[in-house]
Amino acid sequence: MATPTHSAAGQSRAQVRWGHTSIPSPSGPVPARVYRPAASAPLGWLVWAHGGSWRAGSAQDWHGPTAELARISGFAVASVDYRLVPEVRHPAMVEDVLAALAWAREQAREQDGERAGDPLPVAVGGDSAGATLAACAALACRDRALPLAAQLLAYPPLDPGCTAASYHRFPDMFPTASYLMAAWQDYRDPDRPAAADGTPLHSTPFEAADLRGVARAVLATGDLDPVGDDVHRYARLLQAAGVEVTLREFGQTGHGAFLQPGHATSGGPETASLRGWLGVALRLLTSPAAPGA
């Protein structure tokens, strides 16, 4: 059970409360950190999957940036400690994210019962490898007819072959094609398994034959990011399938920008940083306005 009794560090202190929780799943409890706005009820719920090439990273490592995302967005954010390689391979990580989404829907329904208003939105998101998991979870939600307000994807690697020109345009920038290809090999199960109910659990949305009906997408990448072409390609595929897409490419920006401090701390607009822009985009899900570039 979540116990959000601590204040998050940095600028989010006294604006965000956080605590640990244990999310039930068929494979056992999934640990998570839950961040909530301190001064008001959350506008919705976001399940966040951290980066780390499916082999590293944790909710603790992502503590500051995730707390800031909750502060800016006004959403409660569940940062999931999904299982990692080499202990497991895909689809275990996607299953953990899906379990967290089911839990978040329960939290949103409980809050809906306490107020007379529209249902609270539930979204999924992540950065780097976590964004790949989030995109795959969004597809599973579509296939199971489960409501999902949006998918927030920060620079997901999507092509196991790393064939796009951006991988070779910046051959020395992290993550290199050779690094990611090894990570993909560790992560993917060659049998491409499905869930117990038969739902396909993709290791990348590029495996999906049909993207129609998936949740609207907010995508961010940098102009120096080797995975940038993957992100642009996915945006085009989603748009061709009739999915609402908002895409922003940040100038002079490489991989990992979600972890970098935002400019709002020095008086700049929150949307100047990748993390701030994602937070504002998420907040705007509760209003008719679209996230601006």
Catalytic residue numbers read 128, 225, 255
* C-alpha to C-alpha distance for 96 and 52, rounded to whole angstroms: 16
Asked if 276 contacts 72 with a C-beta cutoff of 8 angstroms, the reply is yes
Task: Give the closest residue to 232 by CA, choosing from 153, 137, 148, 150.
Answer: 153
User: Rounded CA gap, 25 and 248, in Å?
Assistant: 34
Q: Kindly state the tokens that stand for 290.
A: 């679209």
* 266 CB-near residues (< 8 Å, 6+ apart): none
- State the chain's maximal CA–CA distance in angstroms: 54
Round to whole Å and give the CA distance between 242 and 53.
30
Q: Which amino acid is at 188?
A: R
